[in-house]
Structure 1
Amino acid sequence: MPSHAPPPAAPGGRPRVAVVTGGSRGIGRETVRRLAADGYAVVVGYAGNRELAEAAVKDAVAAGGTAVPVRADVAEEEQVAALFDTAETEFGGVDAVVHAAGRLALAPVAELDLAELDALHRTNIRGTFVVAQQAARRVRGGGALVTFSTSVVGMALPRYGAYSASKGAVEALTMILARELRGRDVTVNAVAPGPTATDLFFEGKDEETVARLAAQPPLERLGTPADVAEVVAFLVSPAGHWVNGQVLRANGGIV
């Protein structure tokens, strides 16, 4: 059962509608399921794996909601616009946008291939800007945009220089957009997870590294996608609507 009340219906009695990028895997996929359980119709944005996206849709339906998959490169304006077009034509509008799509590259600053840096920033910075731009134009009053940063921004971990720099840009953009939407009754916040048990997190890490990172929070475990999805669900719900222009570090207590 949802931990907070389902969102009120949108104008005309339609269900509330969410666009979730990166919705086929990890935190994004769990967010799709969580919002569907809260009564949202969800547009599941995915980069390339149709099978995973359709599995996320099945999760949403099993949770009692409605969802459709749409393939989109978040850095391409026309493809992102198509995500929002689908939300409007299929479900009547857009009330919540959760931008969970992202890219990770780990290497010391002195060793990182600049082509990898460009690819990272294309997804994490340009992609966030493109999604935020569409959200700023289309989200209805009472709605919300949630972007994703990382708690690593404040931890200054070696090998995370490029990734942290990209997420620092996300935080800056998020804070500014929250202020630019004054008078629209639309909230804009960033969630900054700590170490979370997703495929992206485990990629390139040995067991010792994973154990060390899991031991960092006072709660002494990795976060789960469900932990983070609960934070997102709160932020886009009426209960979270007074939270605006913030970075929420959902990390189990890491300083």
Structure 2
Amino acid sequence: MTLLWILTFAVLGSVAGVAGAATVLLFSEKTLAALIPYLVSYATGTLLSAALLGLLPHTLEHQPAEMILATVLAGLCLFFVLERIVIWRHCHVVGHCDVHKTSGYMILVGDALHNFVDGVMLAAAFLSSVPLGIAAGLAVIAHELPQEVGDFAILLDSGLKRKQALLLNLLSSVPTLPGALLGYFALSQTAESVPYVLAIAAASFLYIGLADLVPGLQGHIGPETGWKQFLLMLTGVGTILLIRRLHG
């Protein structure tokens, strides 16, 4: 059953990303630019609450706080370095990505790596507990939607046709499954490493939420949108809390 849960959310995460990219085919860039900040707001709430209310408390129950927090710090530093060398690239706002720094194909490399790591993290979360896995899986799905839409926009701006860009987005989402399978079989044999993988997962969620999503939202907050974005962030937090309550 654990493997089935892992594969289900790995597929859902991949499908969500491709579905998000496909929305570019249906809406104008103006409509997407107006919609994405709200999707990002919800994703921010789910990512931060999954990290701070789900993953970290669970890891701290099984390992010394100093070791876990040191792992989180190392993870944050690692993701900073990866993003600086354009491997861990995120783009959640249409029209607000620096295409001069990142080619369309580098976006795909970073996306594939990111999805592979997401798969490993999903496996670690579900191996710890089903509620924790569901919370982590929902957080992954929530941020994949706006991320893939933004990446798709960059691919189009790089000169690719829509069908080509959609196919490449689909291929970059595939590594989630092998990552989930590898994580399941590897971590099943080394259970003592699971809390540290979860700490890295928490670092990933925190980095994406605080270094990538929140700064992007600040550029869209105004009297007419700020409170709506805040409510959607709270909705994301509430979703994670509800999952914990239902499965607690």
TM norm structure 1: 0.34
TM-score by length of 2: 0.35
Bigger helix fraction = 2
Q: Which has the higher contact order (CA 8 A, sep 6+)?
A: 2
In terms of fraction of residues, the more strand-rich structure is 1
